[in-house]
Structures are given as structure tokens and as C-alpha cells.
Chains A and B, each alone.
Chain A
Amino acid sequence: MHELSIAQNILSMVNSRVEKEGIQLEATAVTVMIGEFRNVDPESLEFAFDAMKPSFEFCRNCLLKIISVKAEGICTKSMHSFHPEKQNGFSCPICNSAIKEFKSGEELDIVRIIISTIDQGRLECTK
């Protein structure tokens, strides 16, 4: 459900970025990184993004690209690097110890925005 507010955040950040850049411009793509240990469902996010983008002036033709980032944990006992798996109860598969920290898997960031000049042809079409 909160994918709606996440989509809204992305769109308004992109929208104000375009606004800052100048006139006759629009965003054509935004790339986001979503870690495995964030509660974001990519499909719901895409759905919400497409549903909301018409109401953001400079994002109407913006594509959302999602990079899913696999989690990598470091274990408490031996600093092993591993992928936390449900079937191990998220423990380290080598020494069975807990996760001390995540090296990756908690991202929720915009990493790339592409801004282009508005396609005149398309602009006329819509008039």
C-alpha cells in the first residue's frame, strides 16, 4: 500500500529536478535501486508510478527502471559475507552466527535521471 507514497516521492523528486533544469524539458527515465530488505514490492511500485505520473507535469513520459539489489550480510562471529536465507533463519551458512550488518540490501534510492527536450511532434499531437 505504501508503494503509492514511494511512487509519489520519486515523481515529485524527478519533477522538481526537471523544473530546475529549464524549459521545454521532461524526464524520460528514472532508475531506482531497491534493496531486498526494504518493504517495497516492485510490481506495486510500477503500477503506482504509472497510475500517478500523468499528474506530474514533467514526468508524463517518464519510464521507471528498477534495479533490485540482493542482500549481503556480514556475520557476527567471523565476518563471513553471505546471502541471508529464510531456510537458515537468516543465519550465516558457514558458522551459523547472526547478521552483524548489511553490506547491501537496504537501498531505496534514485540513482539516475534522464532529462530530454520535449519531442515537438508529440507535443503537437496531444493538442
Chain B
Amino acid sequence: MLLNVENLHAEVAEGGQPILKGLNLQVEPGEVHAIMGPNGAGKSTLSSVLAGRDDYEVTDGSAQFDGEDLLEMDPEERARKGVFLAFQYPVEIPGVSNKLFMQTAVNAVREERGQAPLDMFDFDEYAQSKMSTLNMRPDLLERSVNVGFSGGEKKRNDMYQMALLEPKLCIMDETDSGLDIDALKVVAKGVNALRSPERSFLVVTHYQRLLDYIKPDVVHVLYDGKIVKSGGFELVEKLENEGYDQIIQSHETGQ
């Protein structure tokens, strides 16, 4: 199993408000899981906790990644071992060029894998080779990280980073939000190009459209800090037609 989350409880580090309340999630290598759920359910929190953001404190439960205790690791260590988070809101870093940023990141991951670092020229070549699948404008690489990028360009840049780092687990937090139809296809194409028997995806989304393109193996509904329902692709269609009310109601009466 690539990711095994059991009974995960997490709260806001400052204030102690509980957000994840006993979450279970198992992802096998090569699988694509979609996570849906109403606003405020805890989807971004789950993504952040898995990536290691210290705004949240895990109070109970466990998360194993590739057989190791994920929660013990610093965020950079998780990234080096193959966890990638595409942010709901990618962050701007003024003055740091996208290229230098990504060269540093790629070499950090290479170091972890026991590979020699790429120098400027090798990195340039590598960066070029990954650019075409995502229709990345080459000048975005020369600019400061996400500064002055449009919303769609930021998301695309995150996808591009994901392609460069070749992670094992890709967590995509609402990567499809704010994308136009063409950009959405590009992102879906990028994801599909990265799919492999070893690589898994956790795709957080509110909409069916992206999932139409990437066909998840499992669909989960996250509500009030827990996975309340899991199923196949048919669950997406059901939600699209009926909304969350029924699932939430049956979950709450079932309790």
C-alpha cells in the first residue's frame, strides 16, 4: 500500500479546533482517488496534514507512506520521498526565479534518490522536455515563482512542478478550480501522462469535468472531517445530480 491513513484526527494548532475527526483512507500504487465534499469539510486540511504543514496538529491516528511513518517527517523530507502537493492557492515568491526554485527542488529530490545534481544546462534540457505536455509558456520559467501569473497559470505551474519532480503520490487540491476548459484539458492530459503503475493520485475537486477526463478508480465523499462514503465513478454522477444532502443525511442518521 502506498498510503495508509487510519483514524486520523487533526486540529488547528493555534486554537485547537478539531477538523479531521477519524479519517481512513487507503491508496494502492497506481490508483487514482477523487475526494469530493462540501466547502469546509476538511479536504484542504487533509492535503496539508499529509504534506506536513505545521498549522495543524495531529492528535490521533496514523499515516503510513510507502511503509514509513509520514507524520514523523519534515515537509521537505516528505517531498523528497515522493509526496507532492499541488496547492489550492499556489504561493508567490518574489525575486526567486521559477527556474532556480525548480532546479533546487529537483536536485533535492535527486539527492534523496542518490542521483547526481543537474547543473544549469542539464536542468534546462530537462525542464524543456517537460514543458510541451503542459503547454507551459517558456517565459514563465524565467519569472519569479508565481508572481504576476494568472490563476490558471499558477495551477499549470504547479502541474509542471509535479511533472518535474516525478512524485509517487500526487495530491491535487482543487487544481481544476479557476481553469478554463482548454486549461482543464491540459491539466487532465498532464495527469494522464504521469499515470503509471507506481504513481498514485489524490484528486480533490468539486466538479465532475476533470474526473471525466482522468477517470478515478475510487471516489470518496469527505464530510465533517471523515470519509462518509466511497464508491466508483458512478458516485460522481450521483453527486452531480443530487448534491451532498442525501449522503450527509444518511450518514448522520446512521450515526
Partners in one complex: no
Q: Which residues of A contact B (CB under 8 A)?
A: none
Query: Footprint of A on B, CB under 8 Å?
Result: none
